[in-house]
């Protein structure tokens, strides 16, 4: 069972915010970490720009700090989806008290 976090994201138009609930699971194997996030379907509809609805963010632990690794599966053609994934990762790492480069 994963944890839940709510992300309040300001769209790239700088005029609209959306609130999106995610469930996430953190897996670690040696110095590699994978955070798997799934959009929780609820009262608000999932924005069309947020695709995929499930995504992974991988990082490697170097000298006590996590360095994010590029994930081709998250390479979206939508700026807001890419920026949302980055913001979700940063907020999850902060909530877990993990250091990120």
Provide the pLDDT confidence category of residue 58 given band limits of 50, 70 and 90. Answer: very high
pTM over 0.85: yes
Tokens representing 9 are: 């994201």
* Under 8 Å between Cβ of 17 and 11: yes
Distance CA 69, CA 72 (A): 10
Asked if the model's pLDDT at residue 94 lies above 70, the reply is yes
Distance CA 58, CA 28 (A): 10
Asked if the model's pLDDT at residue 74 lies above 80, the reply is no
Count of H-run helices and E-run strands, the chain:
1, 5
The upper half-sphere exposure of residue 11, i.e. CA atoms within 13 Å in the direction of its Cβ, equals 11
Distance CA 21, CA 7 (A): 6
- pLDDT per residue over 16-32, tens digit each? 899 999 999 999 999 99
């Amino acid at each position: 069972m994963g944890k839940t976090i709510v992300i309040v994201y300001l769209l790239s138009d700088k005029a609209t915010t959306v609130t999106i609930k995610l469930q996430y699971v953190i897996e670690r194997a040696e110095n590699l970490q994978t955070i798997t996030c799934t959009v929780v379907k609820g009262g608000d509809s999932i924005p069309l720009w947020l695709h995929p609805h499930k995504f992974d963010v991988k990082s490697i632990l170097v000298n006590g700090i996590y360095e994010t690794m590029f994930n081709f599966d998250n390479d979206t053609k939508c700026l807001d989806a890419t920026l949302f994934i980055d913001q979700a990762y940063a907020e999850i790492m902060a909530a877990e008290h993990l250091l990120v480069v």
